[in-house]
């Protein structure tokens, strides 16, 4: 085939044939199709979209570009969760051991943070000794022994997606629902899980700002999963305010441990239990009640074994930033707004996030929220505490928070419900 013919087909608004999709993904992975040609095709997809059959075939071609993991040797069903990312979204940390404590195996391949959204691997790497890189054999071994594993995806998993994602990142072609959905689902399906629950975030701190766009993405991903024989469910969840009280790597680990110990912020507990129930039901284990596993300490036991299995010390003190700055309430009243995006950018500027994938992160940096929208506050009480190793970072973090806090004499905040919709 010829790359130009494929580009022109989509440029002119026509369907790509299965043969065209198979050829162009394979040829691009091998270097036969040049970056500029694939960039032109990606832009044509951004402008003209793809139908369900095209997206499913595109995903399949990316899966076939690499290896596919196999967990059929396990004596328990596999189920996984993927979040589209947000501010304070540490749900994977308590969720994976909780679901494992209820009888499922959770093979969780996670990523690193970029910009204002945090990364699960960055959070876990704040635990002394913990390592993200495991071979497929090591991953299977941890699943057998513990029931849950959280690690980085290997280079052999959907290499076409890795190459295409890097290209989209520098050519203005990231914001395409078919390309976003196929990117996420190619890795999740290649991971080999039998069931998948998608947490699609909505709001200022999320990639999808509106419910309509988030629903379109969720429906596309559920269709891809279904077409590939993976039982897939999606929840649309709120990201118009930070999730929980902690934003930052070690800060979020500490909050996740609080949840496993039976405490933690109500929204984090609620979403953890909601997703756990969805994962267990998708795996055929809906008789198990994850609330019991939190209450009796079995989820905490799995957490500790999971951390040790990857070289970490669950008893070691977490890193603490050297400097802190507290932002107080300027007036008394009801906190009606705390913008998730602004808090995420502040944490990023304090050192908790990165601008480029190769940048280091500060494990102790971040923001602690002392009040949540809907709560009454008093003038002068602490609202946010900023943590960093470099005090010069405070100024730009405070600039990011300018206008992020709204306090009114009375009333209630206009917030999205924590769980907005369910798509199956």
pLDDT at position 115 is 81
CA distance linking residue 147 with residue 99, whole number of Å? 9
From the list 187, 241, 245, 349, the catalytic residue is 187
pLDDT of residue 363: 97
C-alpha distance from residue 365 to each of 319, 346, 354, 399 (Å): 9, 10, 12, 17
Structure confidence at residue 177 (pLDDT): 96
* DSSP of 4-66: HHHHHHHHTTPPPPHHHHHHHHHHHHHTSS-HHHHHHHHHHHHHH---HHHHHHHHHHHHHTS
- Pick among 3.40.50.200, 3.90.1150.10, 3.40.50.300, 1.20.970.10: CATH of 3-49: 1.20.970.10
Indicate if 168 belongs to the active site: yes
What pLDDT was estimated at residue 356?
78
Distance CA 400, CA 141 (A): 44
Q: What is the pLDDT of residue 340?
A: 97
The count of other CB atoms within 10 Å of the CB of residue 99 is: 33
Choosing from 168, 188, 231, 241, the catalytic residue is 168
> What DSSP designation does 357 have?
T
User: Is 187 an active-site residue?
Assistant: yes
The two structure tokens encoding residue 124: 């876990």
Q: Residue 98: which of 354, 296, 249 has the closest Cα?
A: 296
Would the CA dihedral through 384, 388, 390, 393 be positive or negative? negative
Residue from 198, 187, 181 nearest 161 by CA: 187
393 is catalytic: no
Task: Please report the pLDDT score of residue 350 as a whole number.
Answer: 97
pLDDT of residue 174: 87
**The predicted structure's pLDDT at residue 175:** 85
**Tens digit of each residue's pLDDT (9 = 90 or more) over 231-288:** 999 999 999 999 999 999 999 999 999 999 999 999 999 999 999 999 999 999 999 9
pLDDT digits (tens, 9 = 90+) for 110-164: 988 878 888 999 999 999 999 999 999 999 999 999 999 999 988 888 999 999 9
Instruction: Give me the catalytic one of 83, 183, 204, 362.
Output: 183
The residue written with tokens 């900023």 in the block is: 386
CA distance 52 to 223: 7
pLDDT at 92: 98
Fold designation for 80-155+162-309: Pyrimidine Nucleoside Phosphorylase; Chain A, domain 2 (3.40.1030)
Strand, coil or helix: 162: helix
Cα separation values, 147 from 87, 101, 152, 284, 370, Å: 27, 8, 17, 16, 35
Active-site residue, selected from the candidate residues 57, 82, 116, 349: 82
Question: Please, are residues 365 and 397 in contact by the beta-carbon 8 Å criterion?
Answer: no
**82 flagged as catalytic:** yes
Ramachandran bin of 238, using left for φ above 0, alpha for ψ from -120 to 50, beta for the remaining angles: beta
Tokens of 219: 């429906």
Q: Give the predicted TM-score (pTM) of the model.
A: 0.95
Tokens found for residue 83? 């979040």
Question: Which residues of the chain are under the pLDDT cut of 70?
Answer: none
Q: Could you state, in order of their start, the residue ranges of all structural domains in the chain? A: 3-49, 80-155+162-309, 323-408
What's the pLDDT score for residue 114? 77
Quick check: is 161 catalytic?
yes
Which of 137, 178, 248 minimizes the C-alpha distance to 21? 178
Matching CATH number, 323-408, of 3.40.50.2000, 3.90.1170.30, 3.40.50.1360, 3.40.30.10: 3.90.1170.30
Burial 164-181 (b: 16+ CB within 10 A, else e): beeebeebebeebbbbbb
């Amino acid at each position: 085939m010829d790359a130009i013919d494929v580009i022109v087909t989509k440029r002119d608004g026509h369907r790509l044939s299965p043969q065209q999709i198979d050829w162009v993904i394979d040829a691009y992975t091998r270097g036969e199709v040049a970056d500029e040609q694939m960039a032109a095709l990606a832009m044509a997809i951004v402008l003209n979209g793809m139908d369900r059959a095209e997206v499913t075939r595109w995903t399949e071609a990316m899966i076939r570009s690499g290896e596919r993991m196999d967990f059929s040797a396990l004596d328990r069903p596999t189920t996984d969760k993927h979040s589209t990312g947000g501010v304070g979204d540490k749900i994977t940390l308590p969720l994976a051991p909780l679901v494992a404590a209820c009888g499922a195996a959770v093979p969780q391949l996670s990523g690193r943070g970029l910009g204002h959204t945090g990364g699960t691997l960055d959070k876990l790497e704040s635990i002394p000794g913990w390592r993200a890189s495991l071979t497929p054999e090591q991953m299977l071994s941890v699943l057998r022994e513990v029931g849950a594993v959280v690690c980085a995806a290997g280079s052999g998993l959907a290499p076409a997606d890795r190459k295409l994602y890097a290209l989209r990142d520098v050519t203005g072609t990231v914001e395409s629902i078919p390309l976003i959905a196929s990117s996420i689902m190619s890795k999740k399906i290649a991971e080999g899980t039998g069931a998948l629950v998608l947490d699609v975030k909505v709001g200022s701190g999320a990639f999808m700002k509106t419910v309509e766009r988030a629903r379109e993405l969720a429906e596309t991903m559920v269709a891809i999963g279904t077409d590939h024989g993976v039982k897939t469910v999606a929840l649309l969840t709120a990201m118009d305010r930070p999730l929980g009280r902690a934003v930052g790597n070690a800060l979020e680990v500490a909050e996740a441990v609080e949840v496993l110990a039976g405490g933690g912020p109500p929204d984090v507990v609620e979403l953890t239990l909601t997703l756990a129930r969805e994962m267990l039901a998708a795996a055929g284990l809906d008789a198990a009640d994850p609330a019991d596993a939190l209450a009796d300490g079995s989820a905490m036991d799995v957490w500790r074994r999971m951390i040790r299995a990857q070289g970490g010390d669950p008893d070691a003190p977490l890193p603490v930033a050297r400097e802190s700055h507290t932002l107080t309430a300027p007036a008394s009243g009801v906190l009606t707004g705390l913008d998730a995006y602004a808090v995420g950018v502040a944490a990023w500027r304090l050192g908790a996030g990165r601008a480029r994938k190769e940048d280091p992160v500060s494990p102790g940096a971040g923001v602690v929220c002392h009040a949540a929208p809907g709560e009454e506050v008093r003038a002068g009480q602490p609202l946010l505490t900023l943590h960093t190793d470099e005090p010069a970072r405070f100024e730009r973090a405070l600039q990011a928070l300018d206008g992020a806090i709204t306090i009114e004499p009375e009333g209630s905040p206009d917030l999205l419900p924590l769980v907005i919709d369910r798509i199956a």
